[in-house]
Amino acid sequence: MISISFSRFVRRAALAGLAVAAASAGAADRKIIVLQAVTGVASFFGVPVTEGIKFGLDEANAKGALGADKITYEVVNTNSMRAQAMAGVTRYAADPEVLMILGPSTAVEGIPAAAVANDVKIPMKAMTVATGVLNAGPWSFISPQPPQVTMPQLADYALDVSKVKSCATIRFIDNEAYVDMERYFVEHAEKRGMKLLDRTGIKVADTDFSTVSTRIVAVKPDCVVLFTLGPTAANLIIQLKQAGLPGGTKILGQTGLASPQLVQIGGAAVEGVIFNSDWTPGGSTPAGKAFSEAFKAKTGKEPDSFAALGYSYAQVVVNAMKAALPNPTREKVRDALQKTKDVPVVVGNGRYSYVDRFPSYGSVFLQVKNGRFELAPQ
C-alpha cells in the first residue's frame, strides 16, 4: 500500500515537472531599454520619469500582462547628453533581443537619437514634446502631448480665465521643445488679440536674469509666460520680483514647471503661478488614486507629474508589447505603437491615444497655493 502511494506521488511529481517545463519553454523575456537622464541637467525629471516607468513595468510583470512572457528592462543613463543618447541607441539596437527604447528624456537628446533609431530601425519613444523627433521617420515617437495641442489651451486660459491682454514670454533657445511651445502659444494668442510686449530667449545653463527682468518689468505686461523647466522658472520669478514685478502680474507656464523644485527653489515667490499639467496631484481618477497610493507605499514619496507620466508611458509600451505577441518583433512593436488607442493611463483624462502620431490624453491647470500644487481656477 505504501509502495502504491509512493508511485502515485512520483508520477504526479513527474507530471507537474513536465507541466512546469512546458510552461517555461513557452515563456520568453521581452527586453526594452529605459534610456533616461538620471544624472545631469535633466535629471530632476529624468529620475522621477524612470521611477514611474520601472514601477509600471514591474507592476505589469506582477500582473502577468504578457501572459507567460516577462518584460525585462535595463536603465541606461544618458547623463543629459546628446552624444550618450545617440551612442545608447546605437549600442542597444545591435542587440537583437532589444525590442524598443523608452527614451531619451529631452529634445536635445531625443532629436539626434531619433535619427539614429530610424537609421537602425528600432522603435524609440522619447519623453520630449519636440516634433522634430517625429520628423526623423516612422520608428521614433514622442510621449507627451505636443505644443500644437497644449499651447493653444494655455493661450486660451490666459485670455479667458486669467483675463490678461498683454504678456511677455521667456523661452529656452537651446531646447527645440521650448522654442516650439513659445511659438505656438504666441501664434494662437496673437490671433485672439493678445499683445506680446517682449519675447526673450535664454539658455538652459543661464542663472543671471537681472537684465531680462528689468526690461520685462519696464514694459508692464499683464502676464509673464515661462517656457522653461521648473528650476529655471523659480530663479526667473525670484529675479523678476526683485526687479519690481507687481504682485498683480500673472505668471503662467507649461508642463515643464510641474516639478517640486519650482516650489523648493522659488518658495513664497512662486505662490500663485499657474501652469498646464498632465497630472493632478493624488490622482483624479480611481486608477490615478490607486497608482498614487501604491507608488507612495513602495517609494515613500508622492508621485509628481513626471513619475505619473513615466508610469503612463509604461502602460502604453506594455499595451504595444502585448499587441505584438506571440512573436514580437521591432516592426510589430512599432506598428502597435502607431495604433495606440484609448490605453488606460493615470494622466490627463485617463485615456492615451496616438492621433496622426500625436499623443492625446487631455490636461489640467494647476496653481501653486500654500506651497503645493492644486487645481487652478477654471
Nearest partner of 146 among 160, 129, 159, judged by Cα:
129
Quote the pLDDT of residue 18: 37
3-state secondary structure of 319: helix
Torsion of CA 282, 310, 359, 192, to 10 degrees: 50
Residue 185 corresponds to which cell in the numbers above? 502659444
Q: What are the tens digits of pLDDT across the range 349-378? A: 999 999 989 999 998 999 999 999 999 998
In this structure, what C-alpha cell is assigned to residue 106?
529631452
Q: Do domains 29-145+283-361 and 147-277 have the same CATH topology?
A: yes
147-277 has which fold?
Answer: Rossmann fold (3.40.50)
DSSP string spanning 241-261? HHTT--TTSEEEE-GGG-SHH
Domain boundaries, the chain: 29-145+283-361, 147-277
Residue pLDDT, tens place only, 34-50: 999 999 989 988 999 99
Query: What percent of the chain is modeled with pLDDT above 90?
Result: 89
The listed CATH number (3.40.50.740, 1.20.1250.20, 3.40.50.150, 3.40.50.2300) that belongs to domain 29-145+283-361: 3.40.50.2300
**Residue type (1 letter), 21:** A
Number of Cβ atoms within 10 Å of the Cβ of 304: 24
The Cα diameter of the chain in Å comes to 100
Is 271 a residue whose pLDDT tops 70?
A: yes
Q: Is the pLDDT of residue 203 over 80?
A: yes
The H-assigned helical ranges of the chain are: 2-26, 43-62, 82-93, 107-120, 132-135, 147-160, 176-191, 210-219, 230-242, 260-266, 286-299, 305-323, 330-338
**Residue 228 near residue 197, CB atoms below 8 Å:** no
